[in-house]
Amino acid sequence: MLKRSHHMGIALCVLAALLWGTNGIFVKKIVGITPLGITSFRLLFGFLGIVFLITYQRRWSEIKVSLKDFFPFFGLGFIMNVNVLWAMHAFRLTTVANAAIVSNTTPIYVTFFAWWILKEKTSSKEWMGIGLTFLGIFSIFSSHEISLTSADFFGNFYALLSAISFAIYIVVGRKLRQSYSYLTSMFWVFGWGGLFGLIESVLMRSPLWDHPDWNDFYYLVVMGILGTLFGHTLFNASLKIIRASMASTINLLSPVASIVYAMIFLQERPTMLTVFGLILVIYGIYFVNIFAPKKGYE
């Protein structure tokens, strides 16, 4: 029974990674909605899904208890908004392969911030993994002409910021995730994250859409359901069964899936430097997870 449960955890994590891999395809397909609009609506769709699950399971009492941590959740919602927004900009500006690989280097920064902020020890082999990952990122940046004015450079840079911001979200929100269920945490994070996008649109006078058609809204809804609601739900369900280090390693299937999807649906072909960078990133994150089994997404 224990072995079967372990296999179920792996299966849930693999499915989550495959679903997350679809995000880049949908962002490329959506042409009439801005990155800010995609971010806001995607998080709000996820929020509505969480509301449905909480109502179905009759767990509103947990939400009332969590009101005492209103302000910490407020901060996490802002970080989530920034994380998703930068990822959406990355997919718009560079290739799906580049954005997916660089934005999935989060475990490296989790280890770094845990060492820097939480004073957790980091072994020499973990530092080796971090070095390999950064070498892979440099290779991906070099897959196109490195120019401070090129769209690919900015896309890769936004993907890097997205990965770093998600690492901050993981480290800063660790205690809250240990104190509350996933549904409670995501209720506040998705809700505040989506609301921040709407507020930013008003204050910064940034449009949420620009001549969208029905296909744009169709892709947006499907992305909100698959990549946001189902992806996060399945991943967090897997964390109840398997180690976080194993889950974060399995999640490396996400950029691989993104590359395959892009080749099939967008006819994107990754360069040799991109493939080389992917290999280095996978090895680097694998090193970090193997030699730091208690770090990662816990």
Q: What is the pLDDT of residue 229?
A: 84
At position 271, the amino acid (one-letter code) is T
Could you give the 3-state DSSP secondary structure of residue 1?
A: coil
In this predicted structure, the answer to whether residue 67 has a pLDDT above a threshold of 60 is yes
Q: What mean pLDDT do residues 263-281 have?
A: 89
Query: Got the DSSP string for 226-258?
Result: IIIIIHHHHHHHHTTTS-HHHHHHHTTHHHHHH
pLDDT tens-digit profile of 112-162?
Answer: 777 777 676 777 777 788 888 888 888 888 876 655 567 888 998 999 999
Question: Model pTM?
Answer: 0.85
pLDDT tens-digit profile of 190-229?
Answer: 999 999 999 999 998 899 998 889 999 999 999 988 888 8
At position 200, the amino acid (one-letter code) is E
For the chain, what percent of residues have pLDDT higher than 90?
40
Could you give the 3-state DSSP secondary structure of residue 268?
A: coil
In this predicted structure, the answer to whether residue 58 has a pLDDT above a threshold of 80 is yes
Q: What is the pLDDT of residue 296?
A: 41
In the predicted model, what is the mean pLDDT of the chain?
A: 85
Residue 52 region by backbone torsions, left for phi larger than 0, else alpha for psi between -120 and 50, else beta: alpha
**Domains in the chain: boundaries:** 2-291
Confidence of residue 231 (pLDDT cuts 50, 70, 90): confident
Share of the chain residues as helix, strand and coil, in percent rounded to the nearest 5: 80, 0, 20
Q: What is the pLDDT of residue 181?
A: 86
The C-alpha atoms of residue 4 and residue 12 are separated, in whole angstroms, by 12
Burial of residue 190, with CB atoms counted within 10 A of its CB: 0-12 exposed, 13-18 middle, 19 or more buried: buried
